[in-house]
Structure 1
Amino acid sequence: MKLAGLKSVENAHDESVWAATWVPATDARSALLLTGSLDETVKLWKPDDLLLQRTNTGHCLGVASVAAHPSGHIAASSSLDSFVRVFDVDTNVTIATLEAPPSEVWQLRFDPKGTILAVAGGSSASVKLWDTATWNLVATLSIPRPEGPKPSDKSSSKKFVLSVAWSPDGRRVTCGSMDGTISVFDVARAKFLHHLEGHFMPVRTLAYSPTEPRLLFSASDDAHVNMYDAEGKTMVGAMSGHSSWVLSVDVSPDGAAIATGSSDRTVRLWDLSMRAAVQTMSNHTDQVWGVTFLPGGGGAGRLASVSDDKSISLYDYS
């Protein structure tokens, strides 16, 4: 397996690019790359040549996360302004504006069926679930406070939720917190199940394997990527190689590899059978906030990365 650089766009945004995801293809168009930036905009790009298709505005502070509905017709962006904006991908018409005070929203993800949007609730130490038919809040999944004689304010600040992921069957929501804990919830019962231990610094991103539904990957400021059996509550492996914070992780569509982005300015490709990095890409000149594989696709795959250096890089994965 290897990555080959296809294209890079310098100054893709006016400020740091913090988020990226793929919008699935529809009958009318191919898949698109969706990026969000501290310049308060969301942009849509063609998948092969990174030609800019559209620039969406609507936030009044930087965009921290973007998510695409599995239908490919709608997407959502969250901002440091504490709002989530849901919009039509092809017309940019705002479909819903969700308020998430009193905290920033660091990450959001649609469930595999597209019926629920999960929003990482920052300092509320929770994940909020929104019904995508009505855009009503349907559940708040709160991380239980640690048991002890005196729960201090410090302990709740450490539970600040940074990341969120759905299991491939949509039955579980998992979130990562500032203190390194990973919490797993049963969605149907809106019930906390268990913590996954192993990190001791912020967990920035989580990603489930598309081919092994119980397998969860986490990226942390402790410079490690951990692998968990999310149902069995066990850590099955840890991978190290980055020299600084690991800010993003994604799993290849074939489930054989993961890509990571780090504040050491590199993108790394990891062979999961070897549990080792097999390639390091140094396209970026600043920390890499996002890596995202184009889902599906039988032949050559695509990987995109975004960075504080304002650029986007596109790679061929084979």
Structure 2
Amino acid sequence: MKLAGLKSVENAHEESIWAATWVPATDARPALLLTGSLDETVKLWRPDELVLEGTNTGHCLGVVSVAAHPSGVIAASASLDSFVRVFDVDTNATIATLEAPPSEVWQMQFDPKGTILAVAGGGSASVKLWDTATWQLAATLSVPRPEGSKPSDRGGSGKFVLSVAWSPDGRRLACGSMDGTISIFDVARAKFLHNLEGHFMPVRSLVYSPVDARVLFTASDDTHVHMHDAEGKSLVGAMSGHTSWVLSVDVSPDGSALATGSSDKTVRLWDLTMRAAVQTMTNHTDQVWGVAFRPPGGTGVRAGRLVSVSDDKSISLYDYSGR
């Protein structure tokens, strides 16, 4: 398996690019790339040429996360201004504006069916679940306090929730916290199940395997990438190679490879059979905040693609070939 650089766009945004995701293809158009930046904008790009399709304004502070609905029709952007803006991908019309208290919107993701938008709640130590039919708050999943902490401890539960990931069957939601713990929830019952241990620094990104709903990959500031059995609560493997914080992780659609982005300015490709990095890309000149494999599907789309975004304001597109 390997990555080959296809194209890079310098100064794709005016400030650091902190978020990237793929908008699935629809009958009318191919998949698009969505990027969010500290320049307060969200941009849409055509997939293989990285040609700018549109620029969305509407936030008054930097954009920290973007998420695409599985239908490819709508997407959402979350900003440091504490708003989540839900918009029509093709017209940029605002569909809903979700408001949160300050520092309570971080990473977010639609569930596989597209009925719920999960938003990591930052300082509220929770994940908010929004019903995508009504855009009303459907549930709040609270991360429990660490054992032994007193209710009077400053900083609430001592948890600050940074990242969220849905299992491919939509039954589980995982969230990563500033203190390194990962909490697993049963979504249908809105019930906390257990924590996964092993990281001791912030978990800014996590993703379930698309081929096994039990397997969860987590990336941490401790420079390691962990592979968990999220149901059995066990650490299956730990992968090391980055020399600084691992800011982003994504898994290939066939479930055989991982890509990671790090503050060591590199993108790494990991072979999950070997549980080792097989390639390091060094085209960015600053922290790599986002990596994302393009989902399969759409007409004329054969090859695998990976994208990375960075503090250096650039976007890089790679050809990914699996085994």
Question: TM-score category by the smaller chain?
Answer: over 0.9
Q: Secondary structure at the match of 2:156?
A: helix
Q: Report sequence identity in percent.
A: 84
The superposition leaves residues 36-88 of structure 1 with CA deviations (integer Å, 9 ceiling, x where unpaired) of 00000000000001000000000000000000000000000000000000000
Which residue is 1:124 aligned to? 124
Distance 1:246 1:149 in 2: 28
AA of the residue aligned to 1:272: L
AA of the residue aligned to 2:98: L
Matches within 5 A, 1:120-159: 120-148=120-148, 150-151=150-151, 153-154=153-154, 156=156, 158-159=158-159
Distance 1:104 1:16 in 2: 21
Distance 1:200 1:160 in 2: 13
Which residue is 1:304 aligned to? 307
Distance 1:210 1:105 in 2: 25
Asked if 1 retains the 8 angstrom alpha-carbon contact of 2:146 and 2:158, the reply is no
Which residue is 1:91 aligned to? 91
- Decide whether aligned partners of structure 1 residues 270 and 152 sit closer, same or farther in structure 2, where only a CA change above 3 A counts: farther
Which residue is 1:107 aligned to? 107
Which residue is 1:80 aligned to? 80
Distance 1:155 1:235 in 2: 29
AA of the residue aligned to 1:27: D
Shift of 1:147: 2.7
Q: Does 1:317 align with 2:320?
A: yes
Which residue is 2:29 aligned to? 29
TM-score w.r.t. length of structure 1: 0.98
Which residue is 1:251 aligned to? 251
Distance 1:52 1:149 in 2: 49
Q: Does 1:219 align with 2:219?
A: yes
AA of the residue aligned to 2:22: W
Which residue is 1:45 aligned to? 45
Distance 2:280 2:182 in 1: 27
Shift of 1:154: 4.7
Asked if 2 retains the 8 angstrom alpha-carbon contact of 1:79 and 1:104, the reply is no
Asked if 1 retains the 8 angstrom alpha-carbon contact of 2:104 and 2:124, the reply is no
Which residue is 1:14 aligned to? 14
| Range with bigger deviation, 275-284 or 155-164 | 155-164
Q: Which runs of 5+ in 1 are unaligned?
A: none
Shift of 1:156: 3.5
Q: Which runs of 5+ in 2 are unaligned?
A: none
**Count, aligned residues:** 318
Shift of 1:103: 2.3
Shift of 1:149: 6.1
CA-atom RMSD, angstroms? 1.1
The superposition leaves residues 229-259 of structure 1 with CA deviations (integer Å, 9 ceiling, x where unpaired) of 1111111000000000000000001110000
